[in-house]
A and B are shown apart, each in its own frame.
Chain A
């Protein structure tokens, strides 16, 4: 049933446009050039991959009687097992493949063949390389009975894997160009804001504060109240602008949260004598709804530790609570947070709460039982 390579290549232009010949029930090779283009220009990579898999499944299913899966493809939704809509993966397959191929993978092997423990299934996995830095993804062919020889499988699936690698590489390159452009635009806005608005607001904040002090000393309570309000509003406007600037300067690619947390810890370590400890029990693959919101909350908490906590020790803990939920705990052994201090710094706390809500996470700022402060960010839907 295998199709020879020259014959199969000649059939490229016909891909997908032709209806399968019903009499012989032959499934033509998919249009690989079109596949590369579809992936490279995709607006929703997960959807495009699933559509591609629907076509690939009928082709590979016909020629090899195998089920096709993709794993280790870092889509915005995380490292999930992708497959055609027509098939249902056996229970536990996603976990086994993720463990074997993406977490304990032999990096120099382009092809892996093994029997899945505790099942009748055999696996032939082909590595998909996107670029030198990123970890590889895998196209997995799952066979119910015996595993056909490697040459026979690769004759059918090798060019498909190449096309997937090609399309995904282009897509990732394009995405990183877009991210770089957005970051550079944000940085330009931040610089402009910093040079214009923030400077003026900073000046107004100081003057408004002085005015409020002077008005307090006069015997006109109305004037004092107005100037106090002005001072408060100027403070808020200044903090909001600083927040916008900080946000624009902070660029993080989706899926790089753990790396960004490590970097933030190194950065704060350099600027204080506090001992920082990272207790990461979730691995490197952690994606939230919006990683930039999550890192901002963590950085704000670290910032507060360095600025206000008077702590000697701080810990950031990433703990799995279930398959999809995690808890990020940032705690210190400092002087703790009192109600009065919380009010003074209420703007920062409010912003943290708002950011947590945006990613549908819960934020708790509590005293640490042994002394100090504890910030718990519980993210319910964080695929790993």
Chain B
């Protein structure tokens, strides 16, 4: 009621009425009483939820929240009514047609120092959330593909230790060491695992290919964590800056299976 009284203030000649301003907004504006029931909604509420203002008044806002996010709503409303600053929450709003929309609500007290009434803005963020989900799914799918490849994809520095910046999970099968060990253990490097008889040839072949900006192909032996050498095939290329400087190398190492008997 207090809020409605606020809106009834006579607008000045130049400025439009406050309710007109609120109803023109692209976000929903809400006011909650001490029972967290809705006491005011602007026109955007209907667009967002499918419920009319009349249907919404005196209903609990929690009725519109997805059950899995209900506790978060209770938590932020408690925080705000205890005097914390403005709080926000991303949640799923259940529309009148039972469809779900992702929304961001920003909640604050109407007057500083008074726990109630609370005011809030409600913004539809479904497109952003969907876009984010698509991007995550695409990344997840690519990462799954890379890590399931029966070989080791890598990107590393062009040094004799072949220090790795990225290795795929296939490294475990090739070397017997996990990604974490190969990337973070300074004493462990791919260079150190190459058979001493092959190490010089590997280095020279790669440097020769890099000078000519060509791919390199290698066959050599690599020391597995089980103590045995395994024969591998590697195909890679340099990563160059626009001026032609070598920034690193990337490629794939595949295990050569012994011929079946």
Contact = CB atoms under 8 A, between A and B. Distances in A.
Given A269-B140, A270-B140, A270-B144, A275 B67 contact: no
A283 B141 CA distance: 29
B67 A281 contact: yes
Interface string A258-276: 0000000000011111111
Contacts of B94: 281
Nearest to A272: B141
Nearest to B68: A280
B137 A279 contact: no
Given A279-B92, A279-B100, A283-B67, A271 B144 contact: yes
A273 B66 contact: no
Consensus secondary structure, chain B interface: helix
Contacts of A282: 67
A343 B94 CA distance: 36
B17 interface: no
Contacts of A274: 137
Nearest to B134: A275
A273 B67 contact: no
A278 B100 CA distance: 11
A168 to B, nearest CB: 28
B138 A273 contact: yes
Interface in B215-238: none
Contacts of A313: 130
Scoring A270, A280, A283 by chain B CB atoms within 10 A of each residue's CB, the highest score goes to A270
Nearest to A273: B141
B66 A279 contact: yes
A312 interface: yes
A281 B68 CA distance: 7
B133 interface: yes
B209 to A, nearest CB: 34
Interface residues of B, number: 17
Contacts of B142: 273
Interface string A199-225: 000000000000000000000000000
Contacts, number: 35
A245 B177 CA distance: 33
Interface in A242-266: none
B75 to A, nearest CB: 13
B43 to A, nearest CB: 26
Nearest to A274: B137
A139 B98 CA distance: 37
Nearest to B142: A273
Contacts of B134: 275, 312
Contacts of B136: 275
A277 interface: yes
Interface string B141-154: 11010000000000
Contacts of A275: 130, 133-134, 136-137
A313 B129 CA distance: 13
Given A279-B100, A281-B67, A283-B67, A273 B133 contact: no
B61 to A, nearest CB: 17
Interface in B65-92: 66-68, 92
A276 B142 CA distance: 16
Contact of A281 (B66, B133, B140): B66
A277 B144 CA distance: 19
Contacts of B137: 269, 272-276
A271 B142 CA distance: 9
Contacts of B133: 275, 277
Nearest to B132: A275
A377 to B, nearest CB: 17
Interface of A: 269-277, 279-283, 312-313, 319
Given A273-B137, A280-B67, A319-B98, 5 more contacts: A269-B140, A271-B144, A274-B137, A279-B92, A282-B67
26 contacts: A269-B140, A270-B140, A270-B141, A270-B144, A271-B144, A272-B137, A272-B141, A273-B138, A273-B140, A273-B141, A273-B142, A274-B137, A275-B133, A275-B136, A275-B137, A277-B133, A279-B66, A279-B92, A279-B100, A280-B67, A280-B68, A281-B67, A282-B67, A283-B67, A312-B134, A319-B98
Instruction: Sort A-B residue pairs by CB-CB distance and give the 8 closest, nearest first.
Output: A273-B141, A275-B133, A275-B137, A270-B144, A273-B137, A273-B138, A281-B67, A275-B134
